Amino acid sequence: MSKKVCVLPGDGIGPEITAEAVRVLNALNLGFELESALLGGAAVDATGNPYPEATQKLAREADAVLLGAVGGPKWDGLPREQRPERGLLGIRKDLNLFANLRPAILYPELANASSLKPEVVSGLDILIVRELTGDIYFGQPRGIEMRAGERFGFNTMHYTESEIRRIGRVAFEAAQKRGKKVCSVDKMNVLETTQLWRDVMNELVPEYPDVELSHMLVDNAAMQLVRAPKQFDVLVTGNMFGDILSDEASMLTGSIGMLPSASLDARNKGLYEPSHGSAPDIAGKNLANPLATILSAAMLLRYTFALEDAARQVENAVKKVLAQGYRTGDIFEAGTRKVGTREMGDAVLAAL
């Protein structure tokens, strides 16, 4: 198999944090071909287009894409078509990325960063699998129009069974590599679309005899995530519920600089990026935490290339540097050792 990775540093802290993840990938000596291209504001400055043709070509030909972040105040005044975010939406759509995977892991060393009690969250390790291309966010008809003399707003929630089945499979297969439990989140007591969601999830069970499936209504899931989040392994849900629950879950950890993400297509081609933005306030100052991007590279190893051992090696190196007391400013506490972006990368390389 070829191992082409398209690297898109983007804007703000993007170039600094992707540089550290690239050093980690190179250090593993796995024969990756890494090539960089422009996305977001950097691409607008160079070409006038946030997702230029050269980037499209490279991203389509690659097996995986590693992205930093895009955006910043410099481009906020541009017309909508030229905004950096357009580049991000453009590449996600172009690559048919329908499955968004967001782990929320709380390393015991960082338990104080959470707003929840350390005993509730310490050791948390859950994975939210969110459907990304369907649901009420894309359903037609939609709009705001005049009806019977007043404004009327409407959207349409829908899923086909094949859309549900393919995201269900992503969740079951991810659970097979983890704690072997899937909790499917719906609102079947009120919404027919999500009754179908539950039915199709149940139909998948015979294909994955080693995985235990449970169901939860979304209101209860929102509650359980803050009450007892460690009960979950993999949570799978639709686009809208997933949007909300994945943000809730990521905040359980309290440290945005630690959270990776993956968006996959039907053949496990993926776009891997930290969950945070381009942090223009600290860009170019060697202050950004590169660990979310390094952990995104670990997801790239696991999900696109099925290199589970290498993925764990990177994750264990991150655990080790935290245990050794290395901290960037965003996760710093008294008694630990404050380092910059590059020094954190050095520490991870040493731990590898």
Binding mask 236-265 for ligand NAD (x = CB under 6 A): --------------------xx--------
User: Residue 267's Cα: distance from chain center in Å?
Assistant: 17
Instruction: Compare residues 134 and 277 and give the one whose CB is closer to ligand NAD.
Output: 277
Rounded distance between C-alpha atoms, residue 70 and residue 26, angstroms: 24
Near ligand NAD in 294-333, by CB under 6 A: 328, 330
Instruction: Compare residues 200 and 282 and give the one whose CB is closer to ligand NAD.
Output: 282
Binding mask 330-349 for ligand NAD (x = CB under 6 A): x-------------------
Beta strands in 88-217 (DSSP E): 99-105, 125-131, 143-147, 150-154, 181-186, 212-217
Antiparallel, parallel or unpaired: β 33-36 and 4-10: parallel
Q: Is 91 one of the binding residues for ligand NAD (CB under 6 A)?
A: no
Instruction: Compare residues 88 and 132 and give the one whose CB is closer to ligand NAD.
Output: 88
Q: Is 70 one of the binding residues for ligand NAD (CB under 6 A)?
A: yes
Q: Is 69 one of the binding residues for ligand NAD (CB under 6 A)?
A: yes
Rounded distance between C-alpha atoms, residue 177 and residue 341, angstroms: 30
| Least spacing, CB of residue 177 vs ligand NAD, in Å | 25
Of 53-61, 66-74, 104-112, 190-198, the segment contacting ligand NAD by CB under 6 A is 66-74
Beta strands in 200-328 (DSSP E): 212-217, 234-237, 260-264, 270-274, 326-327
Rounded distance between C-alpha atoms, residue 50 and residue 90, angstroms: 9
User: Quick check: is 94 catalytic?
Assistant: no
Q: Which two tokens mark 81? A: 């078509």
Rounded distance between C-alpha atoms, residue 36 and residue 319, angstroms: 28
User: Quick check: is 303 catalytic?
Assistant: no
Q: Is 282 one of the binding residues for ligand NAD (CB under 6 A)?
A: yes
Q: Residue 34 phi/psi, 5° resolution?
A: -105, 130
Near ligand NAD in 6-45, by CB under 6 A: 13, 17
Report the candidate in 153, 138, 136, 148 with the shortest Cα–Cα distance to residue 193.
136
Which one among 277, 314, 321, 322 touches ligand NAD, defined by CB under 6 A? 277
Give residues in contact with ligand NAD (CB under 6 A).
13, 17, 69-72, 85, 88, 256-257, 273, 276-282, 288-289, 292, 328, 330
Instruction: Name the residues annotated as catalytic.
Output: 137, 187, 219, 243, 247
